[in-house]
Structure 1
């Protein structure tokens, strides 16, 4: 047997008829199948937000994911209630402070524009807001 025959047998380039197929082993470079974390987060936010009539901009979704901020459906419902109250007072762009994060919200669009986790709030300045709400 020459070296080519040995390589073909090891690699399985010429399988025998009736022989079981070798199990495929994913390489280290292939990604796991299934949706990505950002897709799952986006879907969860969309589901919860639709119930509370709250949208999350792409920027806000990426900030929530990168800053590891997890909003529950209860949190999103509170944000929705807060937007309704802020709209009743004539607010346009509002800062919502929660126990987890600070959110800048476009009241007219019912959209969360960005998010900052509570550990990064110190020394931050929020501009272009006309109201603030603690929820």
Structure 2
């Protein structure tokens, strides 16, 4: 029994060393995934549904890249013009606040930046 415990303990120690070796790469991968996540508020989801607007996976990637760029430049609340949509987003929280059709877009207040996404 004691022999088993010491063997298991050395296996655990060896396993922990391997985890420590992999951990930084895994952590950076998690960070990259977190940086591509965009939250959609309940209000924004209602607006998407009621205005018959859709965001696909490719759209989310485009918006994510735009938010990352805006965040690196210090933006907080931004208007993103993408396809036929005007999207108000909290860049710091990576959250879409509301969405409207660009045909209905007239005046926008309380933003500090605008990004046109092709």
Between Structure 1 and Structure 2, which shows a larger proportion of helix residues? 2
Instruction: Report the CA distance between 1:120 and its aligned residue.
Output: 1.5
Residue 71, structure 1, aligned to residue 27, structure 2: no
Q: 2:66 aligned with 1:97, yes or no?
A: no
Cα RMSD (Å) of the superposition? 1.4
> Quick one: distance in 1 between partners of 2:47 and 2:81?
16
Task: Note the residue ranges of structure 1 that are not aligned, 5 or more in a row.
Answer: 1-49
67 and 83 in structure 1: CA distance in 2 versus 1, 3 angstrom threshold: same
Q: TM-score, normalised by structure 1?
A: 0.59
Tell me, which stretches of 5 or more residues in structure 2 are unaligned? Answer: 1-33
So what's the TM-score if we normalise by structure 2?
0.68
**d(CA) in 2 for partners of 1:73, 1:116:** 19
* Greater RCO (CA < 8 Å, at least 6 residues apart): 2
Q: Indicate the structure (1 or 2) with the bigger Cα radius of gyration.
A: 1
Greater strand share, 1 or 2?
A: 2
Runs of 4+ in structure 1 deviating by more than 2 angstroms, as ranges, are none
